[in-house]
Structure formats: structure tokens, C-alpha cells
Amino acid sequence: MATTGLGAEGERSLARAARRIPIVREANFALGAHLLARLARAIGPMPDGFDASLVELHRRGKRDHPSATACGVAAALSASGIRRWETARGRRTPGTLEIASLRAGETPGTHLLLLAGPHEWLRLEHQTFDRAAFAAGVLAAARWLAPSTPRAPGLYGLADVLSPPRIEP
């Protein structure tokens, strides 16, 4: 399930369903977007003087901003000491992730994480060229949920789908 913005009643319905069946839920099923969040999680404490910014670009008709993927990357940065994000508006608040949301054209999605220091920067970017990128994650989730490998009821994510299988002693 890749639907976001369900609201309180939708979330309750999803939780009820997950008590009966396994559900894979992810804001973005593109495998590269998952890897971007994994890399963001691994950054750890930010050096003094570094700022984090995220620029996300989506098709002109996308309604939410920032996107659920951008919010996921923001949450993944929590280990870096950045606990809040703010919409880019001019002067930034130190220690926050600044997110700029752009809506233009028909691009399926681009997320650029920029870590900028006094004399250098690091760019981590995921760009989707075609919606087929989302299909790879959806197919991986479908195979993972296949009846031949029964799963316990619950809510799962791509981290579960892509993790190596456990070998029981």
C-alpha cells in the first residue's frame, strides 16, 4: 500500500486490517527512494556548521507538499540530531531540516538531500525517471507476501521486504 494522507479513520481501518493480514506499506516503493532514506538514517550526528536541506520535485498535479517520501527522509535523519523540519522560506533555523517542495511538469519524483558545511557539501539524490521504478518495489513486496512464504499479520515496510531472510537455528 502506497497511499498516504489517509486521515484518522483510514489509519484506524488500516490498523484493524493489519491485525488480520500482513500489509506492506511504504510512502514510495521505488527501491532507490528506500536506499536514500537508509543512507539518511546512517548519517549520524552532523558536524558543527553543517545544514541539511531537502529539495523535492514532483509532477504539477501532486497535491501534498512536502511529499510523504520527503517526510520519510526527514524522519530518517533523526539520528543526525535533526529532529524537526521546516518549509523553506528564507532565513533558516539552525538544527532543522529545510524542505523545499516544487511542483512542475510531469516528473514522477526527485529528492535531493544536501548537507552543506562551511567549505563543502554532500549531495544524495534519488531521481525517478519513470513510474516503472515504483513497480520494482511493489513486485518485491508481492513476492514477499506470496502464500508460499506465510507472514504474520501486521504492518511491514520495504525494510522488511528487502532484509535478508533469517536463518532459524
Residues with catalytic function = 58, 62
Render 30-53 in DSSP notation, one character per residue: -HHHHHHHHHHHH--SPPTT-EEE
Q: 137, 29 in Cβ contact below 8 A?
A: yes
- C-alpha cell of 164? 535478508
Q: Which helix (H) or strand (E) holds 17?
A: helix 7-18
Among residues 53, 48, 65, which one has the least CA distance to residue 92?
53
Q: How far apart are CA 128 and CA 110, in angstroms?
A: 6
Q: How far is Cα 18 from Cα 153, in angstroms, rounded to an integer?
A: 6
